[in-house]
Amino acid sequence: MSRMVPLPLPPGLAIGVVGTATAKSAVKLLGRVDLVPDRQTGASLADALAMLLEPPHEPSGARSPHVVVAAAEGGQHDLERELERRGVAVARIAVYRTVSAPPLEPRHVFRSPVDVVLLASPSAVRGLVAQAQIGPETGVITIGPTTSAAARKAGFQVVAEAEQPNLDGMLEAIP
């Protein structure tokens, strides 16, 4: 397996990730993770990073912290915006892209009633809209606030949002 960065990592290089699954992958590939916020969202990571990077009253002209955000192409930019607002220099690298299935015509219509649909990302919302038709009585459970916003914008009734943004959290939210 090739590596993008040499190991061991340079001193002073901190690795922050949004969730536990990403943390496991980062530990496997990079050897460590330094920061995982309690709430697994980009905004929470921005808050935690900003506190970590806030320089102790340095002399005028001191270099501002620099952060590289490795994220999805077309993904949310909340993390970058919040860090930049706090004076952190940010570079974004799109390291993956989600490719939706093409729209299905006619869309799939379920023959028996569906009580609930689980949606784990805004791209899953877009995929559901492109591929299927669910009735207005069907509730949607989302993995987190970004997915909830996308689901509501698509006209779905969000009945619950996972307390922890993972499959277990979504399953626990089923009424």
pLDDT (tens digit per residue) in 111-128: 778 899 999 999 999 999
Query: Max Cα separation, the chain?
Result: 68
Q: Are both 89 and 112 inside the same structural domain?
A: no
Which pLDDT score, from 0 to 100, does residue 4 have? 60
Return the CATH number at 121.
3.40.50.10090
Q: pTM of the entire structure?
A: 0.73
Question: How many CB atoms within 10 Å of residue 13?
Answer: 12
Domain hosting residue 140, numbered range:
108-172
- Out of 73, 96, 119, pick the residue that ends a domain: 96
Helix (H, G, I), strand (E, B) or coil at 159: strand
Q: Which residues contact 33 (CB under 8 A, 6 or more apart)?
A: 15, 16, 17, 23, 26, 27
Cα distances (angstroms) measured from residue 57 to each of 54, 82, 136:
9, 20, 55
Residue 8 placed within a domain: no
Is 163 a residue whose pLDDT tops 80? yes
141 near 167, Cβ under 8 Å?
A: no
DSSP 64-88: PPEEEEEEETT---HHHHHHHHTT-
Question: Do residues 112 and 76 both lie within one domain?
Answer: no
Which percentage of the chain shows pLDDT scores above 70?
Answer: 90
